[in-house]
């Protein structure tokens, strides 16, 4: 181990327990929760194997009246849930790490779709998240019950083997935070009004939890020290400080949160590594207890700096631990160039919003540890000596090559361009997406060090010469290209135009084509591409109008917690925004759109239209030969098979490599049915 990083491997005392090092996987959602407990336990256990000294759960519901269906979070309603949770603690303890559990009662953020019980909250108010129902204001009997539910859950947590028990008042997702918040608490009794009154329930639950299990379990408080709402919410240098000083010595650990979730888990497009430092350092200055903070840390030097400068005591991570579960061990073993650095894209977050098992752009094994028996660092060896030609060095091709080479196969990569990277390389040149290049850098660095890999650039392969290379095994990973014909999920009709405008695609802009005059960007993709192209065109000096058939800018990016920031960014850059308009035709230097409800036509004068709608798979190498090829193995992967997210392309490449030579059906995997206790 490099001595400069010794400080990262010091033990840290957390109340009655001791963390074996400073690497702390903070609670994070995963889309598995109580529905897929075996998969969840395996995922958490691998993180402990990878060196994370503390590994925590996601939110864990403590009572049926705080049911957050359809989301797959943890569940500890009664004793029957203990066995499923013990799967995780056993997996974590196997590697000498501590297991933490984040107990939650959601309050205004819970809708109880499954239990159908009334939602309880500080006041009579609409629930959060847009669902048309209201919460019931808790009376003193309800508050007494709530305290008992927390106490019962803490005792069950101890029985399940947890070493650290959380009291959760962060992210805007906890009734304890709702009581603290002036925004949500308008009570006039001893639990409302002054800060001391609003903090009363949190203090009571903390003390109850400590009295119940604090003899053997560390008690952690995760709290929003700033809601980034100015005077309308908690501020770090205002009530946030007062709360910490009021409770400073009660918890054994402070877990710093900036509320809400989109603030706490900002993407790399809008924040840099360590972006929460000012808040974490502020908490550290107000308590003698250890402090854990996050900041999408991937650099060990940044981690050491945070500790030495007194910013925090434990390196908190959710997303970096997802991208590389073995990050701590790689630092310990001085293998820094093998770290899969988080790119901050929040695809992991999007999985939770779909109540689906977690996935990661950088780490294709995430969420597949149990059901496919995949490991982030270990892969089954080759079944026999064979060579494989991979055509295309984009995200799918490079991942497939890396995994096959690790298995021991001879791998040759042919890439028509002068450099590797495909779409990731091109997209990483766009505003805010530079960190995404890590997807390519990690794989290229690994491949260059592998003696069984050869890479040939500036080497275009055609259907005619594909059979001349002498390979029996060929995998096509040639990506996709953006359409310019106006087809989208809303219409299969081609765009009618009179040729009066320059029509470009994202590929054109990324290839260096300069748009002319006034620019209209039409977004039927609804993710990041149209908005970053709008920024790019502004940088090029264009006046830009953004048109979409959605009711919001970059609507799907709500799943990656970016939508509001993207809209605000375009507004600040002077981009005109037109919503609810379907691209219709081009007539005499005008983009004609139709309102999606009224069908009324809208004319927008411009010189250049950039269409961001759909992509076509670049499968010309595969399709002519798929039914009559002479090869032993001939496959199509990534965007060349089905265009999608970069994460899907990487997963496709890894899936192909894992199954190569097995003869097995890729669609078959283990189905997690738990232990019979999960609901």
- Give catalytic residue positions: 29, 168, 171, 264
The answer to whether residues 566 and 528 touch, using CB atoms and an 8 Å cutoff, is yes
CB neighbours of residue 285 within 10 Å: 12
Helices (H), 333-417: 347-353, 395-407
User: Exposed, middle or buried, 530 (CB in 10 Å: 0-12/13-18/19+)?
Assistant: buried
Burial code of 223-257, b = ≥16 C-beta within 10 A, e = fewer?
Answer: bbbbbbeeeebbbbeebbbbbbeebeebbbbbbbb
Around 179, how many Cα atoms within 13 Å sit in the side-chain half-sphere?
Answer: 31
Rounded to the nearest 10 degrees, how much is the dihedral formed by the CA atoms of 636, 641, 644, 648? -30
User: Exposed, middle or buried, 536 (CB in 10 Å: 0-12/13-18/19+)?
Assistant: buried
Contacts of 182 (CB under 8 A, 6+ apart): 198, 232, 233
Q: Tokens 């918890």, residue?
A: 251
Identify the CA nearest to 416 among candidates 621, 614, 617, 616.
Answer: 621
The answer to whether residues 224 and 241 touch, using CB atoms and an 8 Å cutoff, is no
The answer to whether residues 555 and 561 touch, using CB atoms and an 8 Å cutoff, is no
Instruction: Order across the sheet with 387-391: list the strands.
Output: 453-456, 410-414, 387-391, 473-476, 633-636
Instruction: Order across the sheet with 581-587: list the strands.
Output: 496-497, 581-587, 590-595, 601-605
One-letter-per-residue 3-state SS of 68-94: CCCCCCEECCCHHHHHHHHHHHHHHHC
Three-state SS at 47: helix
CA-CA-CA-CA torsion sign (254, 181, 228, 345): positive
Give the orientation angle of helix 239-247 with respect to helix 277-284, to 10 degrees.
40
Backbone angles phi, psi at 600, to 5 degrees: -65, 135
User: Exposed, middle or buried, 283 (CB in 10 Å: 0-12/13-18/19+)?
Assistant: buried
β partners of residue 548: 523
Residue 588 Ramachandran class (φ > 0 left, ψ -120 to 50 alpha, else beta): left
**Tokens representing residue 23 in the block:** 């690497």
């Amino acid at each position: 181990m490099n001595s400069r990083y010794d400080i990262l491997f010091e033990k840290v005392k957390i109340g009655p327990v001791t963390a074996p090092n400073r690497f702390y996987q903070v609670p994070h959602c995963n889309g598995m929760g109580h529905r897929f407990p075996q998969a969840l336990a395996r995922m958490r256990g691998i993180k402990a194997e990878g060196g994370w000294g503390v590994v925590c759960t996601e939110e864990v519901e403590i009572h049926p009246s705080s049911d957050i269906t359809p989301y797959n979070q943890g569940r500890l309603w009664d004793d029957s849930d203990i066995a499923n949770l013990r799967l995780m603690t056993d997996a974590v303890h196997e590697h000498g790490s501590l297991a933490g559990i984040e107990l939650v009662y959601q309050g205004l953020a819970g809708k109880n779709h499954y239990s159908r019980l009334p939602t309880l909250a500080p006041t009579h108010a609409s629930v959060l998240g847009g669902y048309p129902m209201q919460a019931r204001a808790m009376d003193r009997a309800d508050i007494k019950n709530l305290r008992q539910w927390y106490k019962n859950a803490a005792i069950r947590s101890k029985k399940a083997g947890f070493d650290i028990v959380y009291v959760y008042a962060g992210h805007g997702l906890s009734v304890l935070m709702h009581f603290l918040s002036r925004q949500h608490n308008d009570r006039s009794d001893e639990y409302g009004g002054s800060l001391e009154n609003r903090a009363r329930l949190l203090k009571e639950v903390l003390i109850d939890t400590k009295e119940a299990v604090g003899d053997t379990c560390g008690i952690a408080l995760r709290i929003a020290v700033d809601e980034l709402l100015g005077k309308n919410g908690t501020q770090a240098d205002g009530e946030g400080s007062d709360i910490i000083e009021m409770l400073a010595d009660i918890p054994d650990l402070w877990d710093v949160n900036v509320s809400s979730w989109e603030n706490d888990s900002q993407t790399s497009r809008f924040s840099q590594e360590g972006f929460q430092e000012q808040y974490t350092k502020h908490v550290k200055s107000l308590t003698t207890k250890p402090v854990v903070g996050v900041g999408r840390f991937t650099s060990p030097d940044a981690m050491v700096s945070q500790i030495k400068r007194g910013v925090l005591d434990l390196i908190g991570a959710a997303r970096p631990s997802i991208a590389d579960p073995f990050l701590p061990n790689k630092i310990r073993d001085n293998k820094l160039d093998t770290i899969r650095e988080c790119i901050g894209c929040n695809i992991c977050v999007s999985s939770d919003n779909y109540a689906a098992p977690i996935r990661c752009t950088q780490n294709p094994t995430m969420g597949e540890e149990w059901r496919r028996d995949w490991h982030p660092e270990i892969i089954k060896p080759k079944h026999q000596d064979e060579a494989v030609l991979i055509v295309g060095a984009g995200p799918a091709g490079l991942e497939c090559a890396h995994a096959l080479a690790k298995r021991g196969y001879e791998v040759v990569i042919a890439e028509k361009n002068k450099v590797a990277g495909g779409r990731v390389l091109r997209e990483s040149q766009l505003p805010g997406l530079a960190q995404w290049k890590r997807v390519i850098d990690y794989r290229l660095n690994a491949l260059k060090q592998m003696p069984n890999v050869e890479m040939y650039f500036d080497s275009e392969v055609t259907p005619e010469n594909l059979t001349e290379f002498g390979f029996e095994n060929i995998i096509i990973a040639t990506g996709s290209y953006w359409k310019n014909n106006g087809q989208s999920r809303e219409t299969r009709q081609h765009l009618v135009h009179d040729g009066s405008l320059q029509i470009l695609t994202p590929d054109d802009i990324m290839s260096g084509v300069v748009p002319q005059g006034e620019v209209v960007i039409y977004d039927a993709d609804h993710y990041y591409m149209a908005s970053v192209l709008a920024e790019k065109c502004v940088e090029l000096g264009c006046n830009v109008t953004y048109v979409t058939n959605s009711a919001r800018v970059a609507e799907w990016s709500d799943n990656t917690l970016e939508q509001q920031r993207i809209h605000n960014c375009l507004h600040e850059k002077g981009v005109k925004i037109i919503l609810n308009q379907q691209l219709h035709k081009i007539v005499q230097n005008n983009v004609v759109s139709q309102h999606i409800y009224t069908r009324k036509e809208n004319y927008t004068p411009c010189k250049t239209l950039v269409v961001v709608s759909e992509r076509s798979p670049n499968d010309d190498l595969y399709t002519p030969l798929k039914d009559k090829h002479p090869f032993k193995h001939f496959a199509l992967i990534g965007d060349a098979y089905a265009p999608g997210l970069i994460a899907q392309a990487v997963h496709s490449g890894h899936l192909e490599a894992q199954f190569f030579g097995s003869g097995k059906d890729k669609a078959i995997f283990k189905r997690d049915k738990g232990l019979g206790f999960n609901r």
